[in-house]
Each structure stands twice: as structure tokens, then as C-alpha cells.
Amino acid sequence: MSDIKKQKIFVDKVIDNIPADKNEQKPIELYKELVQHRFFEVISNANPIFYSLIKKKRLKKIITKFIQSGAKTDFIWKLPSEFRTFVKKNKELFPNMDYIDDLLWFEWIEIKLFMKDYSSFKRSKFDSSYLYDISKSAKIKRLSYKVYEQEFKIKGEYCVLSYFDLKIKEVIYREISPFMYEFLKLISKFSIKNAILKISRKYKLEPKELKEILIQPLKELCTLGVLVRKG
Amino acid sequence: MARLKGCGLGLRREFIHEVIPSSFKPDFWEVTPENWINMPYHHKERFEQIVYENKTIAHGLSLSIGSDKRPSKKFLKTIKEFLDRYKIEDYSEHISFSNFNGSQTYELLPLPLTMSMVELLSNRVKYVEDFLGRSLILENATYYYVPDAKMSEVEFINELIHKSGVRLLLDVNNVYVNSVNHNYDARKFLSDLDTSSVAYMHLAGHFDDEDSGFLVDTHGMEVTKKVWDLYKYTLKKVKAPTMIERDNNVPSLDVMIKEYDKLKRIYRGA
């Protein structure tokens, strides 16, 4: 038998695809535990809210299936992102957890923003004549559940802004209105002026008044590094 | 680049903020590239100051040199960029595999102890060294099971050293743990081992897992007396630079410095 075949049989035993022989059960069990522990530690630490909602035994079973599905990343801190993908493809494992995609996004985005390199990051001053985009230190998302407030029952339309605060070096989130969410999406594509025109038409608002209302929040988002000048 | 010498310590996120204020300067630091290639932004400035101002070596986790497939160019490129960026010459990994068929276990898994595996590893060593532009150092890993053994562990390592020319990271704790788990004489192992290629040594703590009946290489506690004793014996055979690894239950820097000082006293006295 080739080395590769021997390795494959061993790995299959460790990840529970095939049973171990009786005389090798102890070491195989140990390897199973070591692998399981590594995954469990990363997933439970990265997803503290999710972990608080699920029994340890159940999470272990889910993680066994996740291990069998094949994690790819060489960098273990990225494992929660792969876990999100696994969850999306295996919804039957999460009955009565309709909020799970929202929750895992919310928990993963904190890690993702935390792990980015902001060495060359520069804040922009606000000037309505410039083009802006949402910076790499921030993400906005429309959610169906207020997972950031650990509210998992009332379905609706909830928008959240998560950003890395360079002063306090922490990831902060805040709820934003669906209107603001839509506007921030628009300014990634259009100038401030055109974005105001588009959204004012949609909501039947006066562009001049709208601009006056939006100027202060936009200035603040620039100060926070959430918005940066394009180009 | 200065040659590696003296005693070192593994740089960990848990105490990185304590390092500069403490003025503690080991002879060298060891860093795990996979843990620092991406790092929380607030660690970056301190990490770079420490690495640029001190002799630093790298000890990887994800190379998986004994896998069914050779390490990807994408992964090696990322490692090389990290090593080049921080001017790290010494890069060590493990005689093991951790991914198979593209799937990760994040655990160091045991290789078949066969000549064909020695051949495969030797080819991979050359491939990795050519790609990285630096020589590779490989560590004797712990194992709790052997998928197949046509030779003993020490014969396997010696064959690998001779065939590939790879330098050895001799983990003394792993020798001890393996000797207990597989019921062999650790001193005999060290006598039989070709120590001429030892680049440096590791010391770490292990856990006595009564449930499984194995000593488990956890790196989660201080070095045990029996491992210190084996290290003293090893030093008589080979006085190579040595460092302490702690990956789990990482204490404050003060605690690590005490263990480092103990290492330094033993090393100097040898």
C-alpha cells in the first residue's frame, strides 16, 4: 500500500469517515479530540453569541460535519469565514435559527475588520464636491434580524454599520436607518450631489433640505474613517 | 545576517505589549508566520519594532510538507514575503502533515516511517528551499500513532537528514513525550540521532492525559523536570541554540522570563 493511501485511511479515521480498528482506537480518539478541539476553540471564540445559543454537544456534532466538509484555509483565523459558508450550505443543521446568516456575518465582520492592516490608511475631509466610497475599515449590511442586540425573533429590515475605530483600536457597530444604508450604497456609485438627487427623487424629498440634513452625518463618517475619498 | 546563538523565546500576542516596556531582550525571538502574516492592527507597530530590532527566526505550522500534494505556490509566496519583509533567515517547520486532499486538520499528523516517505520529503525540502531562497529546518514532531513503520523514528530522521541535507530543529520535549508514549529510551534516541545537523532546539511543556494514556504535546504549561533533565543530557551531546515554546495558557511575560532565565543558566553552564 502506498504512503498516500495509508495517510488517507488514517485521516479518514481521524475525521470520522471510517471507524478505527479496535487496537488503534485510543490514539485515533486522541487525534480526533485534538482536531475537534482546534476547530471548536476557533469557532466558539470567534462566535461568542452563536456559541451562547447552542449546546456544546450540538456544536461539536456540527463541527465534526464541518471538518468532514473540508476546511481549506492555511490561516486558522480565517476559519470562521469558511464556517459561515458551511452553514449557508447546510441550513438543515440549524432548524429554528433563521437569523444564523446575519449573526455569523456580524461576528465574522468584527474579526475581519480587526485583522486588516491600516498602516497606510488615511482619513478624508468631507467636501461635497468629491467622490467618496466606504473605506476598507468599514462595512454596511442590511439584516433581517437585530442580531447586534441579540434579538432573534422579530424579523424586519435592520441596517448596521461596523467599522474599525483607529483611535480606540476596536471594532464598533451602530444601527443606521435603511435610508442611510441606501444613501451610503449610492455614494459608492455616484457623486454626493447625484446620490442626493437620486434618493430625494425616490423618497420625494427636497434635495437642498436633504443635503443640509446629510452634511453633518457625512462629515462624521469621514472623521471616523468610514467614508474615504475615491481615487 | 548574524548566526543564531544563545537562548530564545516564542513571541506571542498575549504578552507582546509587555515586551518593549520590560526591556527584555532574549538572544532571539521565534515567531509563527501564520499568526503574524495577518495580525490585529494594534499589534503591528510593536511586532515590527521587536522583529526589526532583534534577531528573529520563524517557525511555521501550515507547510504540511508530508501531504499528498506539495505546498502550494500561493502559500509559499505568502511565507516568503513575510520572511523577506522582516529579514528572517531561519525558517523551521515540522516533519508531519496537517492537510490532506486539500482539507485542513490544523494538527500535526504522523507520517509513515518509510523510505518512500523519506524520498518524498527530500524532494519537498528542495522544492521549498528553492522557492523560499533559504534553507529549511525541520522539527521532530510528536506522534501518538504511526500509519506504517518500516524503520524507527530515529532511523527515519537520520535518513531524512542524510538524504535531503535538511537541518534539524530538535524538540527535546517531543523526544521525551514520544519516548514515554512509545516506550523507548530517550537517551538512546539522542545517542542514535545524527546531531551534527541540529540548527536549534525547542523546549516546551506537555500534558499527562490520563483519559487517553498519552503524554500530549500541548505547549500549555511550563517545562517539566524530566524534560529539563533530558535537555541537560542533550547539551552534553550538542550545544545548539535553544528556545522555549508556549502556545496555550500563555502567561504574562514575567513568568516566561523566569523560565527563560532558567534555560539561560542551564545553557551557559553546559
User: Positive or negative, the Cα torsion across B212, B218, B222, B224?
Assistant: positive
For the domain covering A120-231, report its CATH number.
Answer: 3.90.930.50
Give the ipTM of the model, two decimals please. 0.95
Question: B105, A119: Cβ pair inside 8 Å?
Answer: no
Mutant choice from B61, B75, B103 vs A, greatest count of A C-beta within 10 A: B103
Whether the CB-CB separation of B117 and B148 falls below 8 Å is answered with no
Summarize pLDDT for A31-68 with one digit per residue, the tens.
999 999 999 999 999 999 999 999 999 999 999 999 99
Summarize pLDDT for B163-175 with one digit per residue, the tens.
999 999 999 999 9
Mutant choice from B107, B143, B210 vs A, greatest count of A C-beta within 10 A: B107
Question: B41, A117: Cβ pair inside 8 Å?
Answer: yes
Mutant choice from A1, A2, A3 vs B, greatest count of B C-beta within 10 A: A3
Closest CA to A15 of B213, B215, B103, B96: B103
Nearest chain B alpha carbon to A6:
B147
pTM listed for this prediction: 0.94
d(CA A138, CA A142): 14
State whether residue B87 sits within 8 Å of chain A by CB: no
**Predicted pLDDT of residue B47:** 97
Q: Which residues in chain B have their CB less than 8 angstroms from residue A164's CB?
A: 41
Tell me the pLDDT of chain A averaged across its residues.
95
Enumerate residues 111 to 130 of chain B having a beta carbon within 8 A of any beta carbon in chain A.
Answer: 111-112, 114, 116-117, 120
Q: Which residues in chain B have their CB less than 8 angstroms from residue A108's CB?
A: none
Per-residue pLDDT of chain A (231 residues; tens, 9 = 90+): 999 999 999 999 999 878 889 889 999 999 999 999 999 999 999 999 999 999 999 999 999 999 999 999 999 999 999 999 999 999 999 999 999 999 999 999 999 999 999 998 988 888 888 899 999 999 999 999 999 999 999 999 999 999 999 999 999 999 999 999 999 999 989 999 999 999 999 999 999 999 999 999 999 999 999 999 987
B7-269 falls under which CATH superfamily? Divalent-metal-dependent TIM barrel enzymes (3.20.20.150)
Question: B105, A73: Cβ pair inside 8 Å?
Answer: no
Per-residue confidence at B2, pLDDT binned at 50, 70, 90? low
CA atoms within 13 A on the CB side of B38: 11
Question: A74, B75: Cβ pair inside 8 Å?
Answer: yes
Confidence check: pLDDT of B198 > 70: yes
Confidence check: pLDDT of B90 > 90: yes
